[in-house]
Structure 1
């Protein structure tokens, strides 16, 4: 038997605030879990904030597509990216990453957020370095490519797994596992509450799992929209998505012990 905990209660007890996300999400925890309740709240807050921060980085890349394309990928500096990332995250999560020392967050959460910012910035710096100066064709650095690079590095450096996934991923490495598939099927239902996460304490693996839904933007539709089946500029058949439709999720697996 499982019990459900509204995210609003989690936010209040943990002292955090996530105004952009509705307070209707559920948390599932095994009834006989020996993990302290406060630890569970801190894990959910950390997982949710990491997902919001990664998606904020994806949004910055999304907003700069024209700049990236016109400059052959070099028009977005690491400094400009980081500034936009912090502004985006502050607007969505209500947390100023410049003032993390004074934020009402667990020390581990602060450490992970700083690590994700640095990893994201380094991915942009490396992109600029690896582009050949004589290149005449730039296929684009899309949000999914950014997210994949950042997630892989962040997982290697911290042991916290971030992953972009969907029911029909283009990258085989992003195939959903059983837990992710169940959440994705729920997100795909048009009746599912928008921007509501699904989370669970996995006692057997001593980890916390969270699925953060993603939605198709106008830039997403350039490659993933109509007409379905027609090859896009990246060489893949379009999925036929429409604006605002669920387009997958960010999966977070956070070990209980650092």
Structure 2
């Protein structure tokens, strides 16, 4: 039913929490694929210590890649589940994440994206819960750890575009949202994933890529795009200057 994918690279500080969150799922019909970018720390040893606990659900692949989106695409190509979820090595699922998604799944829908809420934590303390709505995708992306995507979407409408270094997940969501294909977006009114502050964060590259995408989809005009890019470059220059 489900394929869960975790891209990893030198994730020894956080991977165990992610592993435990997948292992503790109340819904058990899933396979778990870890796509490692040839880690040089203790990541693979930690993963190996959990192999027997997953009772043949866990498969680990370790080889060099060109970044997180390349790893995600590799995992998608290996997936056998109908619904694919991607949880980063510094994020973690709620115990009933799969169960709640399964309850909302429409078996008659060929193309479906299910998504839920995201809890933001710091030092293990809840700071906020982010509530997403696909109707506002033009203004606010839905983060991929909260999403479960029909494999048919990836097969027929494409994978993550690896030319984007920080915003390929947003490009993917906009591409699907604005496509002529009938894609069903189904909200799951539960917290699905958890994001710990201090993990993967926004970068100036991400700001520029997001602005580029919004201009391409007609969400903002060229003038606003250029203003955003200029501000981003100025911010980068001041950031570099302050390091010295």
TM-score of the pair, normalised by structure 1 = 0.28
Greater per-residue strand proportion: 2
TM-score of the pair, normalised by structure 2 = 0.30
